[in-house]
A and B are shown apart, each in its own frame.
Chain A
Amino acid sequence: KNEVEQSPQNLTAQEGEFITINCSYSVGISALHWLQQHPGGGIVSLFMLSSGKKKHGRLIATINIQEKHSSLHITASHPRDSAVYICAVNSGGSNYKLTFGKGTLLTVNP
C-alpha cells in the first residue's frame, strides 16, 4: 500500500463543474503539497499546507491532520485546468524528502 493514495486516478468533467481530488496518507507529516503538471510540462507548486485551508483563485486546498486527508477543489473548472494533479507529503526528517501520490489526471471538456 502506498503511503500516499490519491483518488480518483482519472477524472473527466465538463467546463464549469466543481472538481474535487482527494489525497489520503498514512504517515505523520510536516506538510502536504499539491502540484500540477501539464502534459509534457514541468511541475507547478499549487499549495503547501500543514493545517486548515488555503485558497488561490479558483483553487482551494484543505487538510485534516487528524484524519490524514487532504482535498483539492477547483471551482468553475476550465479546459486549461486539464492536467495531472499530484499530492505529495513531507514527513519531516533531516532532509524533508517528498513522498508522491500517483497523480490524478483531470480532463475538463469544453
Chain B
Amino acid sequence: GAVVSQHPSRVICKSGTSVKIECRSLDFQATTMFWYRQFPKKSLMLMATSNEGSKATYEQGVEKDKFLINHASLTLSTLTVTSAHPEDSSFYICSASGLAHEQYFGPGTRLTVT
C-alpha cells in the first residue's frame, strides 16, 4: 500500500511552547488528510479533516485556534499544537486519502508536554 510518513515520531516540549507535526504522503497525491488523536487504550478520535488548498473542517469540541492545520500541498499537511499544555500529551496520527478514498495511516507522533 501507499506510504504515509509523520515527523517527528516523538517530541517532548515544555508547557507553553508550540509543536508542529508533519504528515507526508510519499507516493501518491492526498486530496484529503485526516488528523486523529488517540488516548491510551482508546480508539482514534478524529480531530479534523483537511482538503488541499482549503481550510480544515474541525470536529465538535476541537479548538481550531489551538490545533492549527495546514494542507498546503497534495503531499503535506501539518498540525501545530499551539501553547501546548500537559493535557495535550497524546498520540497524534494522520491519514491520507486519494481519489479512490482509500486511507493510509501514518506511524503516529507521540507528544509529551512537560
The interface on chain B, measured as residues whose beta carbon lies within 8 A of the other chain's beta carbons, has a size of 21
Cβ–Cβ contact B49 & A95, under 8 A = yes
Cβ–Cβ contact A95 & B105, under 8 A = no
Cβ–Cβ contact B97 & A35, under 8 A = no
Total cross-chain contacts (CB, 8 A): 50
Identify the A interface with B (CB < 8 A): 30-31, 33, 35, 41-45, 48, 86, 90, 95-98, 100-103
Measured between beta carbons, the chain A residues less than 8 angstroms from B51 are 95
Secondary structure at the A interface, as helix, strand, loop or mixed, is strand
Q: Of B34, B49, B105, B106, which one neighbours A35 at CB under 8 angstroms?
A: B105
Given contacts A96-B97, A100-B44, A103-B43, contact A45 B57 (CB under 8 A): no
B60 to chain A, nearest CB (A): 13
Cβ–Cβ contact B105 & A44, under 8 A = yes
Give Cα distance in the complex from A43 to B35, angstroms.
Answer: 13
